Amino acid sequence: MGIAERKQREKDARIKQIRDIAARLFYKKGYAETSLEEIAREAEISKAAIYLYFKSKDDLYYNIVEPALKKLSRRLIKISEDKDELADITVKKIIDATYDVLLNDSGAYHLLSQYNATEFKKLMPQSSLDNLKSLMRSNFSQMELAVRKGIEQGIFDKTDAKLVSIILWNCFMGIIQYQENRMDIGRTDYSKETIDAAVGLILRGLKKE
């Protein structure tokens, strides 16, 4: 391994460490109550070292959630592009893709699940908020499009696609929150199985007789 490659790996590792610690503290204490000094103390670095990688606290938060949102957005759009796929399969794929965010970037997922538009409107630049909201709307829209596709395919009864999408997303987040709040350390996590069962029930309710 060359010197440049080693330095880049060390930089990437430091950025990941800062992001992981910040995500945990933002989730535990809230964005407003978490300071860069506290993040630096947990990471055993100086506050100045954080500024080598992030311009501010809101830049740090943004760089935790935005990449995860953008990656998910691209994946969901790709899933939705298959117009011939049966809508119930598309819905399940959207759920699976979103669950992958929890598995692979739990810090970003937990911050997104706590997103408070009113709070962040006071604390973050408008341009950052606009981009996050745009990505969130896009991700929500892919589920709505999938439900509409099911109606057009004739496999779902005519219904309010937006309302069904809200139900599906809230069901997803609610099950994860319920599981995490009540699961003892070391116990088996049944959130994915529960989500799959709940989505299955909703889809059966949508299907025509």
Return the higher-pLDDT residue of 139 and 185: 139
Domain interval for residue 75: 57-206
Q: What interhelical angle do 57-80 and 87-104 show, nearest 10? A: 150
Asked whether residue 143 carries a pLDDT value surpassing 90, the answer given is yes
The domain boundary residue, chosen from 54, 74, 90: 54
- For the record, the structure tokens of 64 come out as 């935790």
pLDDT digits (tens, 9 = 90+) for 8-51: 888 989 999 999 999 999 998 988 899 999 999 999 999 999 99
User: Looking at the 3D structure of the chain, how many domains does it have?
Assistant: 2
Average pLDDT, the chain: 91
Kindly tell me if the per-residue pLDDT of 1 is higher than 80.
no
For the cut 70, the answer to whether the pLDDT of residue 136 exceeds it is yes
Question: Where does a domain end: 11, 36, 54?
Answer: 54
- Cα(39)–Cα(25) distance, integer angstroms: 8
- What is the domain-level CATH number for residue 157? 1.10.357.10
Considering the domain architecture, whether residues 18 and 66 belong to the same structural domain is answered as: no
Quote the pTM value: 0.88
Q: What is the pLDDT of residue 21?
A: 95
Alpha helix ranges (H) inside 81-160: 87-104, 106-113, 117-123, 126-153
pLDDT for residue 62: 93
Task: Answer for the pair 107, 24: CB distance below 8 angstroms, yes or no.
Answer: yes
* Residue 10: per-residue pLDDT: 86
26 shares its domain with 67: no
Same domain (yes/no): 91, 106: yes
Angle, helices 106-113 vs 161-182, to 10°: value is 120
